[in-house]
Amino acid sequence: MAAQEDLSRLMGVKQVLGNGTYLGLPSMVGRGKKSTFAYVKDRIWKRINSWRGRALSKAGKEIMIKSVLQSIPSYVMSVYLIPETTIKEIERMLNSFWWGGGTNSGGIKWLAWDRMSYPKEYGGLGFRNLHLFNMAMLAKQGWNFIAKPNTLVAKVYKARYFPNSSFLASHLGSNPSYAWRSIWKSRQVLTNGCRWRI
């Protein structure tokens, strides 16, 4: 412990207990993923609470959900696979905000969030299905490994996780980072959407 304090004092950096953040993302993702990503849910909850007491119309709430609340987790979702339980809790908060106004509003939810996330032409309201959006953002990272193999991040991941194969034929490997595990799980999205051109 004394060595850590000496090193932090010598380098002029602040010592962080537990998992810190780097560029707004958790630097370490361990077994407790729900607690690691709870800060995303907290940021959405704080934003909803800041609007409490405002008389927002349904159109105003739609704009707030689509342009503000659903954009909060976008950056995290482009790097990590958010746990399904966290996504469901976020969607529950958004649904409560839509139907009642607050996070713990006891109003009746006339339509489930899954149905509300359908496109408008299919009877929904066009809200994002956050799990599918998360998978699409991660698949975009995987596509960048294929389409832009000379970028630094593509070279690092290739050297570490799939040096002798392509991204689509890669294996998870031993002791993978959570970022790689997340991107690797999105391969199925790419294989379902890719076509061969001859």
Count: domains in the chain = 2
Of 86, 107, 128, the position where a domain reaches its end is 128
Kindly state the percentage of the chain with pLDDT values over 70: 88
Q: Is the pLDDT of residue 194 over 80?
A: no
Contact 97, 69 (CB under 8 A): yes
Within a domain: 15: no
One domain for residues 67 and 37: yes
Of 77, 94, 128, the position where a domain reaches its end is 128
Within a domain: 9: no
Which domain range does residue 138 map to? 133-193
Measured CA to CA, the distance from residue 52 to residue 178 in angstroms comes to 36
One domain for residues 112 and 40: yes
Q: What average pLDDT does range 95-120 have in this prediction?
A: 77
Within a domain: 64: yes
One domain for residues 165 and 98: no
Least confident of 15-19, 65-69, 142-146, 179-183: 15-19
Within a domain: 24: no
Q: What average pLDDT does range 26-51 have in this prediction?
A: 83
Query: Is 92 exposed, middle or buried (CB count within 10 Å of its CB: 0-12, 13-18, 19+)?
Result: middle
pLDDT band at 192 (very low <50, low <70, confident <90, very high): confident
Q: Tell me how crowded residue 21 is: count the other CB atoms within 10 A of its CB.
A: 11
Average pLDDT, the chain: 85
One domain for residues 142 and 123: no
One domain for residues 149 and 63: no
